[in-house]
Structure 1
Amino acid sequence: MRTVKQVSDLTGISVRMLHHYDKIGLLKPTKLTEAGYRLYDDEALETLQQILFFKELDLPLKDIKEIITSPSFDKMKALESHKKLIILKRDRLNGIIELINKTLKGANSMSFKEFDMTEYYNALEDFKTEHEDKVIKMYGSVEKYNEFVEKCRAKEVDIAKEAVKHYGSIKKFAEAIKKNLNSDAITKAEQIDEFKKDCLYDRNPKLRKLYKKITADLSKDPSSKEIQQIAGEITNIVKRDYEVFKNELGDYYWYTSVRNCLEFPKGLVKNYDGSGMSWLEAIDKKYGEGAAKFTGKALKIYLGDYEPKIEKLYKKLRADLSKDPTSNEIQQIVFEIAKETRRQNEVLKVDSGENFFGYMADFYLSKPTFIKATDKKYGEGAAKFIGEAFKFYSENKIEMK
């Protein structure tokens, strides 16, 4: 056992900071003496070492606490991840040191490629200049878009790390941003927003009449013949009047829109007025508390057994979490998910990056909020299972049938 002073001398962390770690629950002492002095054993020191590794990667203490207290936290895997990221940081710093040394020696030619994010910001500025109408639709105003860009500048190091991890380089990341900002995915998102606004602001007379009718009595059974007939009429009008629900991915978009009414917590959907009210909250305000969920349930029942291929594959992937995520059986499913994802991206003209599944594996394995939501929805250990399956696929790229 070591006292707080001994731990401070050993690690270089101040006594005051160790007290703060205890106060916020990040690193509790192993025991307290009768006199109230903190004592730390070797296991506590190992935890402190992990904290210092995460701090080296510029993570906030709140995020570090969520990570190391997560049930799925694996020390050895965390060390491997630390090693890779710190090597990247070392290489970047070595590049900067080399640049400084050249400058000190009087070198005339200066290069900032080691930390240059210019191409990324140029892509954002070009989008604002060429598509001001889209910027206003997506962000509310040019000023708010400018605020978004400034926030990106404030998080430049984090964005650069994620970009390299996801796309392989800043240059490829910037090229993808240019492509994605002009992709059909943006157009489809705008079309879905227009559909939602038509429902909210009564701009489609037939839908206005049907939404009033289906929400007239929320105590009714959404699976009843009466409600299902209205749900069918809504579905038919939506697929007839809105281009986004007619194309190759139309059924998938309609399925997703319906499902979001049932699964998305209020506040996670794009705001539709200055008050910050979400679309789901606005529907409930317009037609009564619970109207959005009731309508979503009725439309989901009308869809019957229909499920997009990608949804079926994910369901199949997490069907048995006791299986080996690196097995041929599971990897075959991941291969099919990758193939379907590529197909959708090709239809939408989207660049998802050369290491998309490695990037997603990080979300499932290291993002506490994402892990918690996934495990809550699909069962304890679901995030770890999917993450390991994606990670193995990303690292090995095994070709399947």
Structure 2
Amino acid sequence: MQRRFRGPPTAAIVVAVAVFEVVGTVVASARQPDHRPLDALAFVLLLAGPASLSLRRRAPLVMLPAAAASVVAYLALGYAWGPVFLSLALAIVLSAAAGKRWQTWAVAAACAAVLVAGAAGSGDEFALVRAFAGTSWLAILVLMGEGVRLRTDRVAERRRQHEAREQAARDEYRLALARDIHDVVAHSLSLINVRASVALHLGEKDPAQFRPALEAIKAASKDSLAEVRQLLGVLREDAPLSPAPPPRLDRIPGLADDARRAGLEVSLTQPEAAAVHQLPDAVQEAAYRIVQEALTNVVRHSGARKAAVVLALEGTTPAADAGRQLTVTIDDDGAGAAGVPEGNGVTGMRERAAAAGGSLHLAPLNLSPLRPGWRVRAVIPLAAPPAMPGPERETR
């Protein structure tokens, strides 16, 4: 789609050109007594050229022919030379800048043909030289307009690309918020639901379990509320996306304890603390959230009794991150999720693994015909790509 050139206000252009042409021609005609004196028709033609410039946005296809016709008529009637060409020159530049390439070149060629024909019929030996100079100026004016159009298009393209990058950053920002809200709310509410069920079931039979269950519910709800408040602050643009340090692998034992309190027998295997401490924050956060969501799904949906969480560093170059990867495996002896559509949790795990440059795989274990089991395995390279920043905010 062709873009119209947006320049100075049209009214200002028309008035400035009209004043310059009329005043300049009146002054110039005083030194050309051999030409036809200026009359009412001359002033009409002098004003017709600037008036045609007012059509540059409403009817750009009419602007250039009207300006050319007024100039040709003025010169054909033998009036004095002057700055009458200014309106035609501006019309050529504006027309080319507006993307009317074929029309601009056609009108410029027609004007050049009129110049050459007039020079050939005048018998003046220098007329052809002047006609050649005029033709060259016509070409230069068209090229100037083309240059303005190309520059305008480049600026518009850069603006479009900038807006596309900002939109992508906003989309990624919202997606990260959605993942965090889901992880926090789903995990905490699952624990609260399980512990509330335990409290209701054992409240009368085993009153000693009633208080620990309520304490677990209180702790889970407190942590959940704190994280939800922080995320709501982000949505109100009162806080950045991650004002606090992201969750790290040293908090995974807490996830295992939460699952154990919900009745799941969890075993945990992790690398040495020194090796874990050196892992990039993005890798640790992705691994933590994947373990969190996987254990939440096991507690809520699988009916499993046991789960095993294994984190391992793999690779052949321990002195550098290149070529190394962190594998996160969560096995359970539950019913699995074969044939069940993926929910937001699994989608979030896949997105977190992909954002860290890794991948996520889900597969049945086939432990036995009665309890097939299920495996969630993520592979995250340590040389992870940088996270996309959130959208820029205006400073007030």
Alignment TM class, shorter chain as reference: under 0.3
Q: Tell which has more relative contact order, 1 or 2 (C-alpha 8 A, sep 6+).
A: 1
Bigger helix share: 1
TM-score using structure 2 length: 0.19
Which has the higher Rg, Structure 1 or Structure 2?
2
